[in-house]
Chain A
Amino acid sequence: MRIVHYINQFFAGIGGEEKGGSPLEHCEGPKGPGVGLLPLMGSEAEIVRTIWCGDNLINQEQERILSEIEKLIREVKPDVVVAGPAFNAGRYGLACGMVGKLCTEKLGIPALIGLFPENPAVEIYRKDAYIYPCAETAVGMRKDLPGLAKLLMRLAKNGKLGPAAVEGYLPRGYRYNEIVESNAAVRSIEMLERRLKGESPATEVPLRTFEKVPPAAPVRNLREATVAIVTGGGMVPKGNPDKLKQAFADSFGTYSIAGMDELPVGDFKGIHGGYDSTWVDEDPDRVVPVDVLRGLEKEGRIKRLLNEYVVLCGIGTNVAMSKKLGADIAEQLKRKEVSAAIYTST
């Protein structure tokens, strides 16, 4: 059983965010999580090659990097490719999805990815590769690996997996024909009866998970508008006065920009735990665009730039917490009579 494993620069031991641009590299044999995965799969399994790339590089130069990964995978003729687990990591999750899609679509090799079910990459790539539901953070690695190993072996042996509900991967959104005893009318009445008894029968038609919110009505006249800046990019006053968390945000900060024509270099600092803040520290307006909005305010293109901006570190935050923080921020903007807001995310 020949396996290729894709991981990122962090799990390859190269480094964290400061190494997000590190090059595509590989080695023969397991590395990082593969070392833990391999013994769980029995003696016939072999991780023939481990491939890794910096998360920023693969996301920014997708086409070039993927064509190199394609060559690296073809060379060793694997039976199956595994990527991650990437937990709830945004760019790493996307990278795993890209690799999974490449394998399934272009190479005809089955692929399995480990992701937290709320990882945005799930919605994008669930149709393209099998996704095994993992914990939110790498703390869950030990618990996740046995299940991942089991599914990986089944996939390597059979080339495909049975229904998601039986096998334990995330539903891919495909529907297959199945022969059942009773017709839909009978099944729906049975389901209703069970529901009336207080049971909760599983639906046959599950809905997608991300809630749809209808867009707000557009601003009619920008010249009358008060515009606010909100960022998930972690740019805070020097010293991080409110001790905002660098990841897994559970609060946000609101800071004055009154009298400022730009965010002064040195007075503000990026503390986001998910990207290298070198460039935004050199010029904080690269993430909180006070300079150009002040300019537009002076030109009269907008009535007013709200004299404070809102910030948190948007990384690893789950949907429930994002909703809560988003709603709290919205309420604050409403109170300040903001007409529209520009959000930036890293």
Chain B
Amino acid sequence: MQKEAERAGIPTALITAIPSVAKSVGVSRIVTGGGIPYPVGNPSLPRDREIEFRKRLVEKALEAISTEVKEPTVFNVSL
């Protein structure tokens, strides 16, 4: 799905807990997410820290979208 957006000229970032799959199918900008059933969350964190974590993931996605890439590239945030 992302590839079609890229083809149409819209840069995208995919937040996923399984970056290896995204990379193998050729997604350009990938951010490693919090978990399979919660890509932009982490229920084990206290609420305020979870929101902070989500913010970092989304900021990383925006950073990825602003970055020139030539091939599938994985961006990571630290916990």
Contacts and interface: CB of A to CB of B under 8 A. Distances in A.
Contact of A91 (B24, B36, B65, B68): B36
Contacts of A344: 14-16, 33, 39-40
A205 interface: no
Contacts of A257: none
A79 to B, nearest CB: 30
B72 to A, nearest CB: 8
B55 interface: yes
B10 A338 contact: yes
A228 to B, nearest CB: 8
B1 to A, nearest CB: 4
Nearest to A121: B21
A286 B16 contact: no
Interface range on chain B: under 10, 10 to 19, 20 to 34, or 35 or more? 35 or more
B58 interface: yes
Contacts of B12: 216, 230, 340-343
A341 to B, nearest CB: 5
Contacts of B22: 345
B68 to A, nearest CB: 5
A308 interface: no
Nearest to A120: B21
Contact of A342 (B6, B17, B21, B61): B61
A34 interface: no
A340 B8 contact: no
A20 B20 CA distance: 19
B21 A289 contact: no
Interface string A262-296: 00000000000001111110110111010111011
Contact of A277 (B18, B35, B37): B37
B58 A296 contact: yes
Name the residue in B2, B18, B20, B28 with the highest tally of chain A Cβ atoms < 10 Å from its Cβ: B2
A333 B5 contact: yes
Interface range on chain A: under 10, 10 to 19, 20 to 34, or 35 or more? 35 or more
A279 B39 CA distance: 11
B25 A325 contact: no
A46 interface: no
A210 B26 contact: yes
B10 A334 contact: yes
B49 to A, nearest CB: 13
A278 B71 CA distance: 35
A233 B75 CA distance: 20
A90 interface: yes
Given A60-B17, A291-B54, A346-B38, 20 more contacts: A20-B37, A56-B36, A124-B21, A124-B24, A210-B26, A218-B65, A218-B66, A219-B66, A233-B39, A275-B37, A279-B38, A279-B43, A283-B41, A285-B40, A323-B3, A326-B2, A340-B62, A340-B65, A345-B39, A346-B36
Interface of A: 20, 56, 59-60, 90-91, 94, 120-121, 123-124, 210-220, 222, 227, 230, 232-233, 275-280, 282-283, 285-287, 289, 291-293, 295-296, 301-302, 314, 322-323, 325-327, 329-331, 333-334, 338-346
Which 6 A-B pairs give the minimum distances between C-beta atoms? A286-B41, A326-B4, A326-B1, A215-B28, A330-B8, A286-B38
28 contacts: A60-B35, A94-B18, A120-B24, A124-B21, A124-B24, A212-B26, A213-B4, A216-B5, A216-B28, A217-B11, A218-B66, A222-B66, A227-B62, A232-B1, A276-B37, A278-B37, A286-B38, A286-B43, A286-B54, A291-B54, A326-B2, A327-B7, A334-B9, A340-B11, A342-B13, A343-B13, A344-B39, A346-B37
